[in-house]
Amino acid sequence: MNTNALFFGLAVTDFAAADHWYTHLFGRAADVVVTPGIEAMWQLGDTVFVYIVVDPERAGRALVNIAVPDLETAVAEIGSRGIDPGPFILVGPDGAAGRKAPYVDPEGNSIFVIEIAGA
């Protein structure tokens, strides 16, 4: 499969609360408001997009991993905006594959900021 972009959707019930939380997580307002009060999108890389969309039936069940080069730096930056993770999780035996910082949005969606060992 040849792809040229990834759009990852996070279903929510309360758009305003989710928009506020993700604005603080990513450190800026959405890059694109697709439909006001319904759907907004943040561009995290050249071809990587995360969006929130009102969809009560699917809300709160997403799992997202966002890889960063330095986990402590990313966690400190996000923390400066008032969002703190749960305890770090080691990936693989003794963290040989990496570490991740778990965050949970107001809907219950799990967002993991990860640092891949050796990347």
Domains observed in the chain: 6-116 (3.10.180.10)
Contact 60, 110 (CB under 8 A): no
- The reported pLDDT for the residue numbered 63 is 95
Q: What is the pTM of this model?
A: 0.92
Q: Residue 36: what pLDDT?
A: 97
Collapsing DSSP to helix, strand or coil, 59 comes out as coil
Q: Could you read off the pLDDT tens digit of each residue along the chain, which spans 119 residues?
A: 988 999 999 999 999 999 999 999 999 999 999 999 999 999 999 999 999 999 999 999 999 999 999 999 999 999 999 999 999 999 999 999 999 999 999 999 999 999 999 87
Euclidean distance between CA atoms 98 and 26, whole angstroms? 22
Q: Which of these, 50, 66, 63, lies nearest to 116 by C-alpha position?
A: 66
